Amino acid sequence: MDGMRHLLILRLPVLPTLMVLALSFVSWFIGGELLSVLISRALVLEEVVGDYVSHVLAGLLIGVINALVLHRVIRVWIAYFVGAIAGWALALVLIMVAVPLVPPPILQWAAGLGAFIATLAGLVWLLGGLVKFPLGQVRVGGQTVQPAQPSQPSTTPVTEKQEPMPQPPKEAETAPQPTASAPPPPIPKAEPAPPPPATPPPPPPAQTSTAPPTQPITPPSPPEPARSIEEVEEALIEIVAEEGVTEIVPLPNNTSPEGGSYPDLESLLNVDTTMLLRAIKRLIDKNMVRIAGVEFKKVACPHCQSALNILTLSCRACGSTNIGRQRILQHEGCGYLGPEDSFTVGGRALCPRCGSSVKILRGPLEEEQEQVLKVHSSFFICYDCNEVSPDPHISFRCLTCGLDYDLASFEFKTFYRYVVNPEVISGLQEQKRPLKLIADELRKQGYEVQLGARVAGTSKVRHKVDLVYSRLGQPRGAVFLFTERGGAKIHDVMKIIVMKADTKIDNIKILCLGQLDSDSKRLAELYNISIIENVASKDLGTEVIPRLVSG
């Protein structure tokens, strides 16, 4: 028994150790050198001391990440130390083999390893409360040993042993059933149907229990991830540049809380008015779009800024809405002036002075010599208090929050007309010209090309890629274009490295209109990302395309 126990303890850490090894390897291979480079650029220290400090801090960060992931998964201490050191060593060896010209300093990596092991062990001990080598669940011969759960295994073995040993389940089933009814004992005697032992005794419950599972067969589809403001801004710039949009003009919308909308752009971008206005504001800050003037204004609630409201007219004296309007009309033909009711005789509109047929003028004259009535003035009468006033009290009720407000407290919501800056748009089109020419060349060679694509990785994050080309539905490579000449691009290179690890696209190229800085170039080459500089001066067909399609 002691020998078997020692054997189990020796076999137990194998799977946990492999899990720790895999996570440690991925963390150091992808993030070890990357984090140390970033930290060394951020710290202002001496060269040697700064390198050691950067690797120690990188080890601390990687240790925290590993501990947060593994503290609820692994329950054997030795797995953390062996797996962490093995993963670190494997990552170091592979990086030295992959980049033999610039190998990573082993002593600095070793300092990072010490911080990594200390942080990993300390956080796991604090988060998981591990004190000893617990055996946990050990699988021997396909069976699970759970020493700490005496009550639960009594229920699970019954369901597991129903197939090989039909007699014990009968005893377990007949014990609870006599309390419900007496007939169940003769029913289990008929053993021709052992597969459904629980359903034959109570047929009605079996039918009711099988009916509900058929209803939730189709689970609701997960909602589509919301688009970020950066994605909407980029899509808006593409539409403006490709469609040749010169003006962005709003239209009144009485069914929207905003009070207005930009229907054409909103349908193309599949966004609401609020998101579109945020994107336009970002373009205004970048001098791509400017305000050309006020198109219209809407009355808005001072509390929630909603433009959905109901206008109400009421008496100024008593506040009753039981009011009416009386107009004073004048006949243009004879000059008679009187209230509107005096011009109605027997259901016809007649002038009480001259008796001619008349018509209230509501627009231009439809026919010559037409007898018309002009509105001279009007007043309002309250039928509750008989108050007469030249104008009623005007108030609004917000249909969104229910607030009542009047002309003294309402807010204006202004909608502007925007014009596009043609110089900025033409500059963007010129910068994107190399990508369009490359896309045309790749299509001629039989590739499917997507410009401005969003590629989803294993983490479900959608990465922005300037150009993706594929064949038979399988991505063959991705292209990123750096349009700005000069300046550090290390943050952009970091995003590309993350995208490469997440999407598993190995063939990635960076095109630069000018030269790339040395730090960004070194980081890109460390992760096998090719760089093509001075693209504007190269021949795309002979100098750029062959390097793109080559693995």
The pLDDT score that the predictor gives to residue 208 is 43
Angstrom distance (rounded) from CA 182 to CA 503: 64
Higher-pLDDT residue of 496 and 356 is 496
**Residues of 432-447 as b/e, b for ≥16 C-beta within 10 angstroms?**
bebbeebbebbeeeeb
Identity of the highest mean pLDDT range in 125-129, 225-229, 233-237, 392-396: 392-396
Q: What is the DSSP string of 416-456?
A: EEEEE-HHHHHHHHHHHHHHHHHHHHHHHTT-EEEEEEEEE
More confident residue, 134 or 496: 496
Residue with more model confidence, 433 or 197: 433
Write down all domains in the chain, each with its CATH number in brackets: 2-128 (no CATH), 229-306+414-420 (1.10.10), 424-549 (3.40.1350.10)
Q: Name beta bridge partners: 462.
A: 456
* pLDDT band, residue 487 (cuts 50/70/90): low
Residues ≥6 apart with Cβ < 8 Å to 232: 269, 271, 275, 276, 278, 279
Assigned token pair, 15: 């799977």
- pLDDT for 131: 39
pLDDT score recorded for residue 209 = 43
User: pLDDT-based confidence at 225, cuts 50/70/90?
Assistant: low
484 secondary structure, DSSP code:
S
How far is the C-alpha of 544 from the C-alpha of 533, rounded, in Å?
10
Confidence (pLDDT) at 492:
87
Average pLDDT over every residue of 518-542: 83
Instruction: Name beta bridge partners: 416.
Output: 294
What digits encode the pLDDT tens for the residues 229-258? Answer: 887 888 888 888 777 788 899 999 888 888
Residue spans of alpha helices (H) in 445-529: 490-503, 518-526
The closest of 393, 398, 399 to 410, measured between CA atoms, is 398
294 pLDDT tier (thresholds 50, 70, 90) = very high
Of the ranges 222-226, 325-329, 515-519, which one carries the lowest mean pLDDT score? 222-226
Find out whether 45 and 39 touch, Cβ atoms under 8 Å: no
pLDDT-derived band at 416 (thresholds 50, 70, 90) equals very high
Judge whether 302 and 403 are in contact, CB under 8 Å: yes
Residue 34 has what DSSP assignment? H
| Of the candidate ranges 64-73, 234-243, 352-361, 502-511, the one whose mean pLDDT is the lowest | 64-73
CA within 13 Å, CB half, 218: 1
In degrees, rounded to 5, the angle at the alpha carbon of residue 15 between the alpha carbons of residues 10 and 16 is 90
- The whole-number average pLDDT for the span 455-469 is 85
CA 326 to the chain's CA centroid: 57
72 pLDDT band, cuts 50/70/90, is low
> Which string of b and e fits 161-185 if b means at least 16 CB within 10 Å?
ebeeeeeebbeebeeebeeeeeebe
State mean pLDDT over 123-143.
50
pLDDT of residue 62: 81
**Which of 110-119, 207-216, 276-285 is predicted with the least confidence, judged by mean pLDDT?**
207-216
Contacts of 90 (CB under 8 A, 6+ apart): 21, 25, 29
Give the pLDDT of residue 102.
54
Say yes or no to pLDDT of 173 above 70: no
Name the residue with higher pLDDT: 143 or 79. Answer: 79
Per-residue pLDDT band for 315 (boundaries 50, 70, 90) equals very high
By mean pLDDT, which of 178-182, 277-281, 524-528 is the weakest?
Answer: 178-182
Residue 151: pLDDT band with limits 50, 70, 90: very low
Residue showing tokens 């039981």: 322
- Mean pLDDT, residues 304-315: 91
pLDDT band at 404 (very low <50, low <70, confident <90, very high): very high
String of DSSP letters for 82-105: HHHHHHHHHHHHHHHHH-SSSPPP
For residue range 356-388, list pLDDT tens digits in order. Answer: 888 776 555 555 455 777 777 888 989 999 888
- For 148, residues 6+ apart whose C-beta sits below 8 A from its C-beta are none
> Is residue 130 within 8 Å of 77, Cβ to Cβ?
yes
pLDDT at 214 over 70: no
Say what the pLDDT of residue 152 is.
44
Residue, of 148 and 287, whose pLDDT is higher: 287
Task: Name which residue leads in pLDDT, 71 or 229.
Answer: 229
Q: What is the DSSP string of 237-273?
A: HHHHHHHT--EE--EE-TTSTTSEE-HHHHHHHT--H
| pLDDT higher at 149 or 254 | 254
Residue, of 12 and 91, whose pLDDT is higher? 91
Q: Are 79 and 20 in contact (CB under 8 A)?
A: yes
Please give the residue that has the higher pLDDT: either 504 or 309.
309
Contacts of 535 (CB under 8 A, 6+ apart): 434, 481, 511, 512, 513, 544
> pLDDT at residue 94 above 50?
yes
Question: 473: pLDDT confidence band, cut at 50, 70 and 90?
Answer: confident
Token representation of residue 362: 């509501």
User: What integer pLDDT is reported at residue 443 of this predicted model?
Assistant: 86
CA distance 1 to 485: 73
pLDDT in tens, 328-364: 888 877 888 888 878 877 777 888 888 888 877 655 5
Distances (CA, A) of 457 to 31, 79, 266, 498, 503: 18, 30, 27, 10, 4
**pLDDT at 531 exceeding the cut of 60:** yes
